[in-house]
Structure formats: structure tokens, C-alpha cells
Chains A and B, each alone.
Chain A
Amino acid sequence: MFFRQPDKSQLTRIRFLLFLLALMPLARLIWLGATESLGANPIEFIERSTGTWALVMLLIALALTPIRLLTGIAWPIQLRRMAGLFMFFYACLHFTSYLWLDHWFDWSEISKHIIKHPYVLVGFLAFVLAVPLALTSSNTMMRRLGGRWKLLHRMVYPIAILAVLHFWWLVKKDIREPLFYAVVLLLLLGVRVLYAGRKQLKTQTTSKIQAHNSSA
């Protein structure tokens, strides 16, 4: 059943379930907060949790095309907008916890902090670049922008690279966790490159053969 395209009502149910599932990290934070179980440094905990989930959602959104390429299962692509928007949702919570809980809207301190610390700067860039994607994510905007919409959405690749870099640069010494995300991202992008190369090769050979045939 996984391989088959679900019908409309099934898809709605799947969407609804995944929607609830994607809200679990937030629900958990609220639960841990309400029971005072966020540990000795609750602000750091929230900042890290929301950042991690933004990155996870982003990688899920990026995983759907490789899944189609590798297995031929195409229908999960219909869930990509949701994953992308959840990435943006957690990134907003992440940024808000940074601006509010961590720095209390102390703008002069925040601007200095963003400029001076490379890891914050690339995180900030990733977020800024994601804003237009979220704003243009409605069907109307898609239609209105046409081909440019697709071009705009290619921005998701630099966003993902910046997000992983953000994580990489922030850890002190133990890079195992950002390394894990970097490898996943590399695989997800690698599959695309591989298939793009193959496609190009195929079209090249076909045109060569055609050229050969027509000249003969």
C-alpha cells in the first residue's frame, strides 16, 4: 500500500496524522516546561531542540525527491510543502527563543552577536533565505511566479548547507552530531547530482545517436 498513490481522502488523513506528529516536538517542549523538566539550562535546551527540529524537517523535505528517484515512489512529494513549512515553523521558534529568551530583545547586543560569531551569522542567513520560500508557498503565489517560483525554491539547497554549517561551527570540539547531519545532506544532494548526471548522459547519447543516424 505504501507504493500506491493514496486517494484524496487517504492523503488528507496522512497529512493530518503527519501534521500532529510534526507538532510533537513542540508539545514535548511545552510538557517538559510545564513540569520543570528542561534541565539546568532550559533556554539552551529550547534553543537546541527547536534548531535541531528545524534541521530535521528541512532534511525530511529534501529526502522526498531522492526517495522518488531511488524507489519510484512519488506520492510523498505531495507532503513536501508541509515539511518545508514545518522547517520554517521550528526555525521561527528557534529564532524567537534566541531573540527573546536568550537575549531579551537587546538589539545592540544581538546585532553584535550575529555579526561577530560566524555560526550565528550563517544560521541567520539560512533563516533570512527561508523567509521568501515560506511567503511564496501558497498555490496562488506558485501560479503567479510560474517558472521563477521554481528558481526561487532552489534556494533550499544553500539554506540546507548553511544550516549544517551553522551547527558545525557552533560545537566546541565534538563534531560527531553535525557530521551526521552533514553526511545525510551530502547523500541527499549526491543522489540528485548522480541522477542529473545520468539524465544528461542519456540525452547526450540519444542526441548523438540521432545525429549519427540522420547524417548516415
Chain B
Amino acid sequence: MLIGKKPDILSSEITPRAIFENRRRFIKAAGFGAAAGLIASAGFVPSLASAANTRQKIASFNKTAYGKEEQLTSYDDITTYNNFYEFGTSKSDPAVHSRLFKPTPWTLSIEGEVKKPRKISIEDIFKLAPLEERIYRMRCVEGWSMVIPWVGFPLSKLIQYAEPTANARYIEFISLADPKSMPGVRVPILDWPYREGLRMDEAMHPLTIMAVGLYGEVLPNQNGAPIRLVVPWKYGFKGAKSIVGLRFTEKMPVTAWMKAGPSEYGFYANVNPEVEHPRWSQSTERRIGGGLFSPRIKTRMFNGYADEVGQLYAGMDLRKNF
């Protein structure tokens, strides 16, 4: 089922390519329809989702050494098993409900502690820095993980462009919350819009990227089109999707999940097998794509990126600052 045509065969521009796939996953299990309609849970309805039917290759990007040794999670799994509450709270919702979402035109507004607030279009963002492929592990707070070949650029490049003042100690990321195109926003599950945040040194770290694609293609809607944050040593929810605002602040921003459950979700949210979450065990994880009979794997400190990022937290009590 893996479609990832390797991006070696690159056209010189972004070419729309319509790919329709009739998936067996579309099985709706007739006869369960009534029950499923009543209570549509993950337990009742299997992935009705299929990837968006138009996929665009990204014209050019550089390969990097990051994650070369990892076995990639399939395109199908990455694009049908998503937490993106703006499009619904079940994992299969985003792929279904984001089909009509239009990620262009798009502008990102840069605000707060910057020399001059300004807006930048997604086209200009694409030109900000050379795009590169980064293969990163992604560990969700719910105890599962994937390996995703992102295409993006270091967030530091966008920060340089934004020209923050000396007062800027944190960055707040603000996602789109459009009730018209995002059905999940009509339900007050979270205090919309979705907000995330990073400390400046975390944001400037070379591992932190803004992703605009995956598998060599333009980012699918359900994965946070047109631009999202990826911080591989933190739990997946830190990766704000469909970002419309970047605000530089002096004080630590309050994120959407901190507001929703302050005792469960902290600002840092670093992957840490020693700090339990009240709901999920964090010492192990399930790698998506392993099938029915693959055991869990051990979760690593900072999701295995401790060598690169450990020094950012030297001297901090990571139990308190979870």
C-alpha cells in the first residue's frame, strides 16, 4: 500500500497529480451502519478515511542524513491516523473532514516582540530557505509513534526573517480556527484557536522545523496544511498545524492543552519515559504499521534525541517541568 514514489523523479515545478485510489479500507461493514451512525467511535468505524485525492509533488528539496536508518511509516497510515481536533476528535476524522479544506491562499502573520509586525504568504515562505527532507520519529502522548519523512526548513530561518526583539523569550504558534471549513471547531472541545509554544532556544534548535510536506509531496490537509511545526523530541501535540500566527512573547504562552488539562499537559511536553501521564503509560510505545503481533518498543528520553537537545534542559527538574 506504500505509495511513496521516491522524489528522485522530480518535475521542475509543482505539478498537480490526481491520484484516485479505491481502497479496500473503504469497507463500511454494511449492517453496522445504524449502530455506527449512532455512536461513531474508533471501535465501531474502521478507517473510512483515505488520503486526499489530489497530491502534489514538491519540486525540489535536499535529502539529509536525519533518520536514514529508520523504517518509514506508510503514507497511508500517516495520512489516515491523525489527531487534528479541528477536523474531529476521532483518528479517522481529519482525513475525511479536511477534504474540502483550502490551504491556499494562506498568509502567516508575525506579531508581538518583533521589529515590525508583518505578514508573509505561503509562496514566500517556500522561498525563505532551501527545503530539506527530515526523517523524524514522532511520539504521540497517547503511546503510539510513527516515522515520518517531513519536508520543511528550520524554524530558525523563519525567526531570522521575523526579526524578534531582545524581549522575545518565547514563541506562540496560533492555528487556524475556521468553523466554516473546520467542523471540529464548531464543538468547544478545546478553547479555539489551538495554541502551542516554544522557548526561544528550543525554537532556534536545528532539529525544530516548519514542515510544508511529507513523502516528497505538499503537506496533506489532515497533516496540517499548508504549514506546521515539528519538534521531534516533544510529544506530537506540540506540533501546531495549519499555522496562521507566530507571536513572539516575553512570558511563557499558555497552550491549548495546558488550558484543557493543566495537570496532564505541561508547556514543555518533552518525551520522557519516566514521567507517567495519568492516562497513558509513557515507558513504552506502539510503532504504527507493525501489525497485530508486534510488541511495544521502549520509549527513549527526548524520543531518542537526547544527545542533540539534552543540554537545553540542563539543571531543570523535568518532573515538575513536564
Contact = CB atoms under 8 A, between A and B. Distances in A.
Interface of A: 24, 28, 31-33, 35-46, 48-53, 101-104, 109, 112-113, 116-119, 169-170, 172-174, 177, 180
A101 B291 CA distance: 10
A174 B89 contact: yes
Contacts of B39: 52, 177, 180
16 contacts: A24-B32, A32-B29, A37-B27, A39-B91, A39-B92, A40-B91, A40-B289, A43-B292, A48-B42, A52-B41, A112-B281, A117-B279, A117-B280, A118-B278, A172-B89, A173-B189
Interface stretch (B43-51, B53-61, B170-178): B43-51
A51 B43 contact: yes
A170 B43 CA distance: 14
Contact of B261 (A33, A46, A119, A173): A173
Nearest to B184: A174
Contact of B32 (A28, A169, A172): A28
A32 B89 contact: no
7 smallest CB-CB distances across A and B, nearest first, come from: A48-B43, A40-B81, A39-B47, A174-B89, A40-B77, A52-B43, A49-B43
A136 to B, nearest CB: 29
A28 B295 CA distance: 24
A37 B292 contact: no
B292 A101 contact: yes
A24 B42 contact: no
* Chain B CB within 10 A, most for which of A28, A46, A112: A28
Contacts of A117: 278-281
Given A43-B286, A173-B261, A52 B27 contact: no
A39 B47 CA distance: 5
A41 B288 contact: yes
Interface in B257-280: 260-261, 276, 278-280
A41 B144 contact: yes
A33 B292 contact: yes
Nearest to A44: B42
Contact of B24 (A35, A44, A174): A35
Contacts of A49: 43-44
A39 B283 CA distance: 24
Given A31-B29, A39-B47, A40-B76, 5 more contacts: A28-B32, A32-B29, A45-B46, A109-B283, A173-B260
A6 B306 CA distance: 69
A216 B278 CA distance: 66
A39 B292 contact: no
A31 B279 CA distance: 31
A169 B276 CA distance: 16
Nearest to A32: B46
B43 A40 contact: no
A51 B43 CA distance: 8
Contacts of A41: 81, 91, 144, 286, 288
Nearest to A103: B296
Nearest to A177: B41
